[in-house]
């Protein structure tokens, strides 16, 4: 499975934008880039995903490099509720052709009031 590299931690101030980077230099042409986040003591929740073009939804924006070897999750105005571990994941397949998610350690985002 192609792997992703993220900083261990980042810090932001409330109501400021946050840019969370992810490197995935070994991405294959059919891999989707997914972002999930995990709030303390909860299961992960989906944030956003994309393939080649930049994507926007109510939670965040995803900027994908032209060569697809890196991407950036953008939170436009961080709130205290955005404090979580953010996982950048390539949607891979096992040998059986299934849709498992391969999680790294993610980036722990701290939001300061």
Closer to other proteins by Cβ: residue 46 or 65: 46
Among 55, 74, 103, 110, binds other proteins (CB under 8 A): 103
Residue 104 within binding range of other proteins, rule CB under 8 A:
yes
Strand ranges inside the chain, DSSP E: 9-13, 18-23, 33-38, 45-50, 55-56, 61-64, 70-75, 84-90, 107-112
Query: What count of residues does the chain have?
Result: 113
Q: Coil, strand or helix: which one is 33?
A: strand
* Contacting residue, 26, 46, 79, 80, with other proteins by CB under 8 A: 46
Q: Which member of 49, 55, 68, 110 binds other proteins (CB under 8 A)?
A: 49
Q: What is the CA 60 to chain-centroid distance, rounded?
A: 10
Q: Which of residues 13-42 bind other proteins (CB under 8 A)?
A: 30-32, 34, 36, 42
Q: How far is the CB of 110 from other proteins (least distance, A)?
A: 16
Rg (CA), the chain: 14
Q: How far is the CB of 64 from other proteins (least distance, A)?
A: 14
């Amino acid at each position: 499975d192609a792997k992703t590299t993220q900083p261990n931690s980042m810090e932001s101030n409330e109501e400021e934008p946050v840019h969370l980077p992810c490197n995935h230099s070994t991405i294959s042409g059919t891999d989707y880039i997914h972002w999930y986040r995990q709030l303390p003591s909860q299961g992960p929740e989906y944030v956003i995903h994309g393939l080649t073009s930049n994507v926007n939804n109510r939670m965040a924006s995803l900027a994908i490099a032209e060569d697809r070897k890196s991407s950036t999750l953008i939170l436009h105005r961080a709130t205290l509720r955005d404090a979580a571990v953010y996982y950048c994941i390539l949607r891979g397949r096992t040998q059986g052709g299934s849709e498992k998610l391969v999680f790294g350690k993610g980036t722990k985002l701290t939001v300061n009031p």
